[in-house]
Amino acid sequence: MLDKLNTDAMSDLPSDLHWMPAWQIREAIVTRRVSAIEVACHFIERIEKFDRRLHSFFTVSGEVALDQARAIDRRIDRGEPVGALAGVPVSIKDQFWTKGIRTTSGSRIYADHVPEEDSLHVARVKAADGVIIGKTATPEFGTFWRTTGRVAPECVNPWDPRCTSGGSSGGAAASVAAGFGPLALGSDSGGSIRLPSAMCGVLGLLPSNGRVPQHGSLGSTMFLCSAGPISRDVRDAATLLQLLAQPSVDDSLCRLDEPPDYLSGLDDGIAGLRLGWWEDQSISGQVDAAVISAIKKAAFGLGSLGANFVDNAVTFNTQGVDEAWRVLDFVDRYAALGKSLYTDPLARRKLTPYARERFAWAKGVSAADYSRAMRRRADFIRSFEAAFRSCDLVLSPTLGFTAPVIESVGPAQRIPALVAHTLAVNLAGCTAASIPCGFVDGMPIGLQVIAPPNQEALVLRAARAFELAWPWVGRKPNV
């Protein structure tokens, strides 16, 4: 593709361009130290060279990206204003509609599906002059904790290709970790941004329910799911969230109030904040003690930045969390998409076994089952409300072990421990982020920071304080 370009001689690009944060890339482009077309070429070349081993992308939208980059360069040359993501490569999880670019949601049923419009999220990225570099891998309809399916080979972890990248935003997290772009758009209904971010050593943020509109996502749930940013830099995540979180009258579940300025208080620090520690003891036999110890040490290190830990602030009873979440999530997916696919014999044969099993299970959920799940959800809302009366933020492991080796873990193994600290956050409608907080045996681990609904600015502030005190970008995978 790139050898067909008719461009001027390439300038001397920074050797670490693919590790630069989005805000620095934009700054370099608008000050003409590099051009948007050079940046796009660099990242496309890098993906084409290295992603054949990781499989983080389903589709690389090279021609689209180059056209966007040329247009941005022309506008800058004319002295016209450009957006907050001008020339920045952004990858899009393959559940989000992209006009003119294949969107499969990880399903063979949609293997040749090319939307005629962008999702609201993608439209906002484009309006800010972000360059759509490609569509990242996802399991079928985002229904599995590994990024595997029938559309492409399984997406693996940049830190160790024997290990999973997690799911369902595994392609998004792996692409950012591998230096294939500084920003990715993911989605999360039970940990699908936070878990792969922890496994791949990047920052992943779950906005609270209703903060980000949902229009234009193939297979996502409306009830528990939120679109959110994955990045290596807190400022980058705040910038993308600012775009995503604008209200929309086209989404009945979306908040209509304007979001706060997520960048304005980013460096205010956490002195005086009250922190609570949450560790689910019911899974103690299923986690790695060394991982839990390292995450806990990182969490309590925030005390040195002036925050105060509140003893016994968090006493959650997580019994039944997986069952309640499964009912609400799977029934929502089945109602939105699965019913038509599951009842079509040809489509059903194309479904992966895990998607077929989930739709079959959802079909059998009774009204009584759904009512019980809603009551359990109310319990989690009350539990978090009680915790936030005595603390400002709740800290926990994102998960209690590093990314598993793919061949060693069956579909049902470790799932309760995997999602023990993430499902309840979605059920309660809270906001949370997984922050890179170190390594165990050469693999990254993540600290989860949880805040009350609509307190994304507080989560970002804590993440920024951690980032400044213990920078996590110095260590990079061997890609």
In whole angstroms, what is the distance from residue 82 CA to residue 99 CA? 21
Backbone angles phi, psi at 387, to 5 degrees: -60, -40
Q: Among residues 206, 251, 249, which one has the least CA distance to residue 225?
A: 206
- Indicate which residue of 35, 56, 107, 168 is catalytic: 168
- Domains belonging to the chain, first-starting first, are 18-469 (3.90.1300.10)
Element at 126 (helix H, strand E): helix 120-127
* 48 close to 60: Cβ distance less than 8 angstroms: yes
Can you read off the two tokens belonging to residue 5?
């370009």
- Quote the DSSP letter at residue 19: G
> In which residue ranges of the chain is pLDDT below 50?
4, 6-9, 411
Alpha carbon 405 to its chain centroid, in Å, reads 21
Q: How far apart are the first and last CA of the chain?
A: 22
**Is 226 labeled as catalytic in the residue annotation?**
no
Question: Which token pair is 232?
Answer: 């290596």
Side chain identity at residue 217, one-letter code? S
Region of 430 please: left (phi>0), alpha (psi -120 to 50) or beta: beta
CA–CA gap between residue 411 and residue 403 (Å, rounded): 14
Query: Quick check: 139 and 147 in contact, CB under 8 A?
Result: yes
Map residue 137 onto helix, strand or coil: coil
**156 and 162 Cβ atoms separated by less than 8 Å:** yes
Radius of gyration of the chain (CA): 21
H-helix or E-strand spanning residue 435: strand 431-440
Give 265-305 as a DSSP string.
TTTS--TT-EEEE---GGGGGGS-HHHHHHHHHHHHGGGGG
Residue 72 tokens, joined: 């941005």
408 is catalytic: no
- Per-residue pLDDT, 8: 46
H or E element at residue 131: strand 131-136
Element of type H or E holding 44: helix 36-54
Question: Residue 6: its pLDDT value, please?
Answer: 44
* pLDDT at res. 221: 78
Which token pair is 62?
């090279």
Q: Is 192 a catalytic residue?
A: yes
Choice among 35, 56, 93, 126 that is catalytic: 93
- Nearest-angstrom CA–CA distance, 465 and 468: 5
- Quick one: tokens of 42? 């660099």
Tokens of 153: 């080979």
Q: What is the DSSP annotation of 148-184?
A: --SSSSPPEETTEEEEE--SSSHHHHHHHHTTS-SEE
Please state, in angstroms and as integers, the Cα–Cα distance from residue 31 to each residue in 34, 107, 320, 395, following that order: 8, 42, 54, 40
